[in-house]
Amino acid sequence: MDCGLIGRPGVGKTTLFQALTAHSVPVTPGAMKPAMGVAAIPDTRLDRIAEFVPTQKVIPASVRVVDIPGVPGGGDSLGQVLAHIRNVDALTHVVRCWDDAGLGPADPAGDIDVMDGELLISDLVVVEGAIDKATRAARGADAEAKQRLGVLERANELLQEGRPLRDGEWDATDMGILKSYGFMTAKPVLMVANVSEDDVAGDTAAVQAVRDAGNGIAVVLCATLESEIAELEEADRGEMLDSMGLTQPAVGALAQGMNAALGLSTFYTAGEKEVRAWVIPESCPAPEAAGAIHSDIQRGFIRAECYGCGDLFDLGSEKAIKEAGKLRSEGKGYAMQDGDVVHFLFNV
């Protein structure tokens, strides 16, 4: 799944992209083509599991990040930007929360309104054209076409009210229909307040405006500092974090927030060769979770032997978990829980 970084020009999206991807992807400032990279998701549970299960490698989960060019204000370039946004699964909206000599005073509420307005208007154009086609298709006895038309009409009502489609109540079938059109306001959004180096705590009114736009939730970070931290060797990062009064890079909270926005959870596999985190949809059936590792495991799934990572931290070993009766044997109908440590049994 892809998470797109969006925002007005000059908000620091590309700097944040470089921090998330540890400067592993070349970027061209001002380019209208998006850059794509993989961001590892820092995970304290993963590191703790490795303390209890001796292993050769520790492999974190990851999320694909797309640095989408800023909306420049209209024309053909705006159409290109919006097309890129349609292709991602979730959005991370980066907002400038510092005053800049060239860009002017911070105006987070205004910047958010501009971006939201562009996305909403674009969705209105799409839904109006889609309704015309769906109306013609629904004139017969095609139940699927009628359902599609109903979803589009409800979507049009929301957009006409100036509300994003994510505000609507949609079931899984409805969401599939909306996704087929690439509606941008239906995508989950994580708000990010990008602050200056002297406001890492995010105590300004500008940051509060971003929180308000995110219904009280926003990740606060300084992309410039995060980018500098990402360039350091692992051993040197702690000293820089201490000097800034931070306990960990903010990109960890951001990556975790992306997973939350996408409706994902994490399970773990733990053995002598590797301890690894895997990202799956929330409440994913056990066989589908096994498929995240390999399709053969899903195809030949027998059962999942699992326990919660909290039990490992409390009891200290897998042996103690078994003795305490905390090891569970789950079948095909089991919905995976966030934090499960799993060993899949399969036969192909």
Adjacent-strand bridge partners of 174: none
Please report how the helices 223-231 and 250-261 are oriented relative to each other, as an axis angle in degrees rounded to 10: 110
Query: Measuring CA to CA, which residue among 1, 45, 3 is closest to residue 20?
Result: 3
Domains and CATH numbers, the chain: 1-123+185-264 (3.40.50.300), 283-346 (3.10.20.30)
Determine the distance from the C-alpha atom of residue 94 to the mean position of all C-alpha atoms in its chain, rounded to a whole number.
13
How many residues are recorded in the chain? Answer: 348
Sequence letter at residue 56: Q
> Could you state, in chain order, the average pLDDT of each consecutive group of 10 residues for the chain (348 residues)?
89 92 82 85 91 95 87 58 86 94 91 93 93 86 86 96 94 92 93 91 91 88 90 81 75 78 90 95 95 96 97 95 96 96 95
Q: Output b/e per residue, 167-204; b: 16+ Cβ within 10 A.
A: ebebeeebeebbeebbbbbbbebbbbbbbbeebbebeb
pTM of the model: 0.86
Q: In Å, what is the CA distance from 31 to each residue of 37, 67, 68, 76, 78? A: 16, 10, 10, 14, 13
Instruction: Give me the pLDDT at residue 310, please.
Output: 96
How confident is the model over 104-154, as pLDDT tens digits?
999 999 999 999 999 999 999 999 999 998 898 888 767 888 899 999 999
Instruction: Give me the pLDDT at residue 279, please.
Output: 92
